[in-house]
C-alpha cells in the first residue's frame, strides 16, 4: 500500500520532469547569451559598459530570485506600454516565459562574473606567446584565450547550473505545474507531505547528481595535460599521513 | 513634460501608501527577515561545525553522514526543504498529538511557520557553512597541529587554542557569502506565512494593486541589506586577520 503510493507519486512527479527541464534549458540558454554580452561589455574597456555590468551584477546578485520573478510577473504588467505592446505582452503575461526571463537575467549576472574571472585567469605568457607568433586578435581569442578560459570557467559554471536546477522549483509559486508544483498538488490532495516531498526530493537529487557527474566527466576529458602520465603516477610514492 | 508629471504622481502615491502604514509594515518585514537570517545562521553554525567535523573524521560512517548531509541539502531546491519542514512538521505534530489524544481525531496541529522556516533555512545554511569550515580547517598549516601534538596538548586543548581561532579567521570571507545566501533564502519562507519582507511586499502589492512599486521597494531593501553586510564582513575580516596583515 505504502509502496504503491510512493510509486504512483514518483510517476506523477516524473511526468512533470520535461516541463522542469524545459524551464531549466531555456533559462540557461538565454542566460548564457546575456552573460556573453555582459562579459563582452565588461571586457571591451568602455567605462560606460563597465558601469552598466557592475550595476547589473549588483542588482541581480543582491536580491532574491523570488523578488525578481514577482517583479517581472506581477510588476511589469502595470506599465501600459507593456500591456499594449504586441511583443512584450504575450511574453510577460505567461508565467512560464516570465520564469524563464527571470532565471536567465539572474543567472547571467553570476555567469558574467564567472567568465570575467576565467578571462582574467588566462596566463599572460600564453597570450604573449600567441602575439609573438603574429596571431591576429581574433585568432588569438579563438585559439588561445577562449579554450583556456572555458576550461577555467567550467567548475564554477557547473555549480551555477546546479543552482539553476534548484531555481526551477520557484516556477511553482507562479502556478507552473512543474515537478515542485505537481508535488505540491499531490501533497494538498493526500495530506502526506513527507512521503510526497521525499519522492520529489529523490528526483531532484538524482537530477543534480547526474548533472554534476556530467560536468565532472567533461572536466576530466578537457584536462589531460593536468593528469600525470599513468606509468609515472605509480612511481610517485604517496605522502605518509602524519596526522 | 507629461512623463514628469506622471512620475510626480507616482512618487506622491508611493508616499501616501507608505505613510498610510505600509512603510511601518515594511520596516517590520525587514526586522523579521533579519531575525530569520540571524537565527538561521546560528543554527547553521552549530550544524555546520558538527557536519564539518564529521566530514573530516577518520571514521567512514561519520564521513558518509557528513557527505550525505551536504550533498542532500545543497542539492535539493530550497523551496522543497522549506515545504518539507513546514508541511512535514505539521504532519508529524498532528500525528503525535492525535495519538496522544491531546487534539481530536480530525483536528490539525500546525507547525509554527517561523519555527519551520528557520529550521529549514538554518539546515540549508548549515550545509554551506560545513563546507566553509572544512575548507578553513584544511587551510591550517599542518605543522601547527603537529607542534601542538608534540607539546602534548589534549584534543580539546588543541581545538580550543590552535584549531578554532584559525578556523574562525579563515572562515570569515566564506561566512560572508553564506550570510548573503541566507538572506536571499529567507525570502522563500514567505510561502509558509512568516511576515518577513517578501510576504509583506506581497500583501501590500495585492491589497493596493501597486505591485510594481512594492516589489521594487522589496528588491531595493534586499539590495540594501546585502550591500550593508559587505563592509561589515570586510571589517570583521580585517579585525580577525589583524596580526597577518603585511607591514606597509
ipTM associated with this complex: 0.87
pLDDT digits (tens, 9 = 90+) for B187-204: 999 998 898 999 999 999
Checking if the pLDDT of B232 tops 90, the result is: yes
Say whether both A93 and A58 belong to one domain.
yes
Sign of the torsion angle spanned by Cα atoms A183, B184, A32, A223: negative
Q: What values do phi and psi take at A147, rounded to 5?
A: -60, -40
User: In the block, which residue shows the cell 558538527?
Assistant: B50
Do A129 and A190 lie in one domain? The reply is no
- Under the banding of pLDDT at 50, 70 and 90, the label for residue B123 is very high
Domains: count for chain A: 2
One domain for residues A38 and A74: yes
Q: Count CA atoms closer than 13 A to A126's CA, side-chain side.
A: 15
pLDDT band at B178 (very low <50, low <70, confident <90, very high): very high
Question: Residue A235: pLDDT above 80?
Answer: no
Q: Which three cell numbers stand for residue B82?
A: 522549506
Which range among B4-13, B34-43, B64-73, B182-191 shows the weakest confidence by mean pLDDT? B4-13
Which residue reads 605543522 in cell numbers? B143
Question: In CATH, what number is assigned to the domain containing residue A53?
Answer: 1.10.3720.10
Nearest to A208 among B75, B202, B223 (CB): B75
| Mean pLDDT score, B95-105 | 85
What range does the domain containing A40 cover?
A: 24-171
Q: What is the pTM of this model?
A: 0.88
A165 and A60 housed in the same domain: yes
Averaged pLDDT for residues A178-205: 93
Instruction: Tell me the chain A residues in contact with residue B91 when contact means C-beta distances shorter than 8 Å.
Output: 191-194
User: Nearest CB to A64: which of B75, B83, B184?
Assistant: B184
More confident residue, A229 or A236: A229
What chain A residue is nearest to B222 in terms of C-alpha separation? A63
Residue range A210-225: mean pLDDT, rounded: 90
Q: A6-21 pLDDT, tens per residue?
A: 999 999 999 999 999 9
* Chain position carrying cell 511557520: B113
The three cell numbers of residue A130 are: 600567441
**Helix pair angle (B211-240, A47-62), 10° resolution:** 100
Confidence check: pLDDT of B122 > 90: yes
Q: Determine the pLDDT at residue A77.
A: 82
Contact between B84 and A59 using a beta-carbon 8 Å cutoff:
no
Tell me what pLDDT residue B5 has: 76
Of A63, A75, A191, the CB nearest to B222: A63
- Using 50, 70 and 90 to split pLDDT, how confident is the model at A133? very high
Q: How far apart are CA A202 and CA A217, in angstroms?
A: 22
Q: What are phi and psi of B12, to 5 degrees?
A: -70, -35
Query: Are residues A4 and A37 located together in one domain of the fold?
Result: no
Domain boundaries, chain B: 35-186
- B24 touching A (Cβ < 8 Å): no
List the grid coordinates of A189: 490532495
Q: Is the pLDDT of residue B1 over 90?
A: no
Q: In CATH, what is the architecture of B35-186?
A: Orthogonal Bundle (1.10)
pLDDT beyond 80 at B244: no
Residue matched to cell numbers 537529487: A205
Is residue A89 situated within a structural domain? yes
Q: Which of B204, B220, B144 is nearest to B24 (CA)?
A: B204
Whether residues A83 and A187 fall in one domain: no
What's the rounded Cα separation, in Å, for the pair A185 and B64?
A: 34
Q: Percentage of chain B surpassing pLDDT 70?
A: 97
Give the pLDDT band of residue A243 (cuts 50, 70, 90).
low
Cβ contact (<8 Å) for B75 and A209? yes
Contact assignment for B227 to A58 by CB distance below 8 Å: yes
Minimal C-alpha gap between A213 and chain B (Å)? 13
Evaluate whether A201 touches A121 at the Cβ level (below 8 Å): no
Is B76 an 8 Å CB contact of chain A? yes
The pLDDT assigned to A242 comes to 59
Q: Mean pLDDT, to the nearest integer, of B141-156?
A: 92
What pLDDT is stored for residue A224 in this prediction?
A: 81
Cell of B108: 490539525
Domain for residue A228, yes or no? no
Burial (0-12, 13-18, 19+ Cβ within 10 Å), A58: middle
Do A186 and A68 belong together in one domain?
Answer: no
Shared-domain flag, residues A45 and A162 = yes
Give the pLDDT of residue B10: 77
d(CA B51, CA B45): 10
Whether residue A82 is found in the same domain as residue A183: no
pLDDT, mean over chain A: 90
Structure confidence at residue A83 (pLDDT): 81
Same domain, yes or no, for A154 and A101? yes
Query: Are A109 and A196 part of one and the same domain?
Result: no
Q: Is residue A230 domain-resident?
A: no
pLDDT at B248: 61
Question: What digits encode the pLDDT tens for the residues B58-99?
Answer: 999 999 999 999 999 999 999 999 999 999 999 999 999 988
Q: Is A88 found in the same domain as A104?
A: yes
Amino acid at each position: 500500500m505504502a509502496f504503491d503510493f510512493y510509486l504512483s507519486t514518483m510517476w506523477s512527479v516524473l511526468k512533470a520532469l520535461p516541463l522542469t527541464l524545459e524551464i531549466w534549458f531555456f533559462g540557461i540558454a538565454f542566460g548564457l547569451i546575456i552573460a556573453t554580452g555582459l562579459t563582452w561589455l565588461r571586457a571591451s574597456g568602455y567605462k560606460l559598459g563597465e558601469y552598466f555590468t557592475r550595476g547589473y551584477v549588483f542588482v541581480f546578485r543582491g536580491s532574491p530570485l523570488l523578488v525578481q520573478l514577482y517583479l517581472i510577473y506581477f510588476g511589469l504588467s502595470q506599465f501600459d506600454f507593456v500591456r499594449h505592446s504586441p511583443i512584450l505582452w504575450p511574453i510577460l503575461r505567461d508565467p512560464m516565459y516570465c520564469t524563464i526571463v527571470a532565471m536567465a537575467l539572474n543567472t547571467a549576472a553570476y555567469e558574467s562574473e564567472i567568465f570575467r574571472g576565467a578571462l582574467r585567469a588566462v596566463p599572460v605568457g600564453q597570450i604573449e606567446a600567441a602575439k609573438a607568433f603574429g596571431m591576429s586578435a581574433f585568432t588569438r581569442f579563438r585559439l588561445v584565450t577562449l579554450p583556456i578560459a572555458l576550461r577555467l570557467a567550467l567548475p564554477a559554471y557547473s555549480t551555477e547550473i546546479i543552482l539553476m536546477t534548484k531555481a526551477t522549483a520557484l516556477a511553482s509559486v507562479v502556478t507552473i505545474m512543474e515537478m515542485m508544483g505537481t508535488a505540491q498538488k499531490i501533497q494538498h490532495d493526500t495530506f502526506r507531505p513527507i512521503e510526497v516531498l521525499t519522492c520529489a526530493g529523490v528526483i531532484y537529487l538524482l537530477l543534480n547528481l547526474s548533472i554534476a557527474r556530467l560536468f565532472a566527466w567533461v572536466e576530466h576529458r578537457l584536462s589531460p595535460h593536468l593528469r600525470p602520465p599513468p606509468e609515472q603516477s605509480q612511481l610517485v610514492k604517496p605522502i605518509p599521513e602524519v596526522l | 513634460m507629461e512623463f514628469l508629471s506622471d512620475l510626480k504622481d507616482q512618487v506622491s502615491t508611493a508616499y501616501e501608501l507608505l505613510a498610510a502604514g505600509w512603510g511601518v509594515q515594511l520596516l517590520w518585514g525587514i526586522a523579521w527577515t533579519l531575525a530569520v537570517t540571524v537565527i538561521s545562521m546560528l543554527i547553521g553554525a552549530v550544524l555546520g561545525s558538527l557536519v564539518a567535523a564529521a566530514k573530516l573524521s577518520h571514521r567512514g560512517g561519520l564521513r558518509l553522514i557528513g557527505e550525505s548531509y551536504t550533498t542532500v541539502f545543497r542539492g535539493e531546491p530550497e523551496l522543497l526543504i522549506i515545504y518539507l519542514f513546514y508541511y512535514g512538521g505539521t504532519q508529524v505534530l498532528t500525528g503525535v498529538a492525535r495519538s496522544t489524544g491531546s487534539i481530536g481525531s480530525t483536528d490539525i496541529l500546525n507547525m509554527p511557520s517561523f519555527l519551520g522556516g528557520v529550521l529549514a533555512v538554518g539546515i540549508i545554511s548549515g550545509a554551506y557553512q560545513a563546507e566553509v569550515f572544512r575548507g578553513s580547517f584544511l587551510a591550517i598549516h599542518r605543522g601547527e597541529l603537529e607542534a601542538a601534538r608534540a607539546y602534548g596538548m589534549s584534543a580539546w586543548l588543541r581545538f580550543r587554542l590552535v584549531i578554532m581561532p584559525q578556523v574562525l579567521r579563515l572562515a570569515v570571507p566564506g561566512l560572508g557569502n553564506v550570510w548573503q545566501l541566507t538572506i536571499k533564502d529567507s525570502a522563500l519562507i514567505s510561502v509558509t506565512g512568516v511576515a518577513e519582507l517578501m510576504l509583506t511586499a506581497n500583501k501590500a502589492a495585492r491589497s493596493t494593486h501597486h505591485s510594481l512599486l512594492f516589489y521594487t521597494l522589496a528588491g531595493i531593501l534586499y539590495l540594501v541589506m546585502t550591500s550593508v553586510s559587505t563592509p561589515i564582513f570586510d571589517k570583521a575580516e580585517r579585525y580577525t586577520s589583524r596580526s597577518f596583515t603585511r607591514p606597509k
